[in-house]
Amino acid sequence: MKPKVFITRKINQEIVAKMEEFCEVSMWEEEEVPVPRDILMEKIKDVDGLFCLLTETIDEELLETAPHLKVVSNMAVGYNNIDIDAAKKLGITVTNTPGVLTETTADLTFALLMATSRRIVEASSYLKEGKWKTWSPMQLTGQDIHGATLGIIGMGRIGSAVAKRALGFDMNVIYHNRKRVSKLEEELDVKYVEMDHLLKNSDFVCVMVPYTKETDKLISKREFDLMKDTAILINTARGGIVDEQALYAALISNKIWGAGLDVFENEPVSVDHPLLSLDNVVAIPHIGSASIKTRLKMAEVAADNLIKSLKNEEPECVVV
């Protein structure tokens, strides 16, 4: 008998077909609507493997209703949607998809940094709304990227890929990380600094840490108070790392200059969220890894991880 698998969103048919060679697959057939919790609760009772996205909350209650579940394969590098301790306790393997999305996410992070500092979205609306009457000396002026100091909080895979891009723009890169990464310091010419030093000295503060209990609201009022009034915050990691109320307060009081946000505390962010009313916020809908090639690779890696776990082989990317 083939092991049973549930996929929580419609994914590429070729990848499903590959899984079907080894598993009996059922799939939530929607692309834009997440599987409702009650349906997931029902489905999970019966399956050996779950292929899920960051939109699903895989908590203890859910895992405990799954007597046959051997593996949860998350199609994301982040796994804050999964209760890792509960999975460990219940002997369920959790896998993720690091590596394949690093460069694409770094590209987007840099694009967001550039769009925010040079007011690209605002300038485009200005033109399309017929506001462009003349060229004028200080019209839509932003902050320079070349020669600026970029402070990266979290020098993991994506953080280092962002640093590489910054060096091509003649930026001065400083970073803070739980551990110093001496090899990278030499390779990339980046400098380790204490967190407060980074906040005080960066023109761009780029958040690149995973979301955990320790990083919850890591950037809050105290941190904004330390930042330059010309500083720009970029977050393509997880919304909960930044205290959104404190960010709003910092932006409207000109305590900092702008923010580029790909992620929000609650996603999808409500259109009447105060941050979205500000011209100095560039907001995009969690598209860091959203290139066609990368999203397909992520689905492929997630499928491989799932199949290998069900075959009792070692999957490539194990969290626990």
Which residues are known catalytic residues? 238, 267, 286
Token duo for residue 280: 């100095």
Q: Which 3 state secondary structure label does DSSP give 102?
A: helix
Of 76 and 231, nearer to ligand DGY (C-beta) is 76
In whole angstroms, how close is the CB of 54 to ligand DGY at the nearest point? 6
Is residue 49 within 8 Å of residue 71, measured between CB atoms?
A: yes
Of 208 and 231, nearer to ligand DGY (C-beta) is 208
What is the rounded CA–CA span in Å between residue 246 and residue 77?
27
What is the rounded CA–CA span in Å between residue 87 and residue 89?
5
In whole angstroms, how close is the CB of 290 to ligand DGY at the nearest point? 8
What is the rounded CA–CA span in Å between residue 129 and residue 185?
46
Of 97 and 117, nearer to ligand DGY (C-beta) is 97
**Binding residues for ligand DGY (CB under 6 A):** 54, 76-78, 101, 288-289
Q: Which residues of 16-34 are buried (b: 16+ CB within 10 A; e: fewer)?
A: bebbeebbebebbeeeeeb
Of 87 and 319, nearer to ligand DGY (C-beta) is 319
In whole angstroms, how close is the CB of 261 to ligand DGY at the nearest point? 13
How would you classify residue 259: left for phi > 0, otherwise alpha for psi between -120 and 50, otherwise beta?
beta
Q: Which amino acid is at 280?
A: N
Q: What residues contact 155, with CB distance under 8 A and at least 6 apart? A: 163, 175, 176, 177, 181, 184, 190, 208
Of 151 and 288, nearer to ligand DGY (C-beta) is 288
In whole angstroms, how close is the CB of 288 to ligand DGY at the nearest point? 5
What is the rounded CA–CA span in Å between residue 292 and residue 189?
32
DSSP annotation of 24: E
In whole angstroms, how close is the CB of 169 to ligand DGY at the nearest point? 24
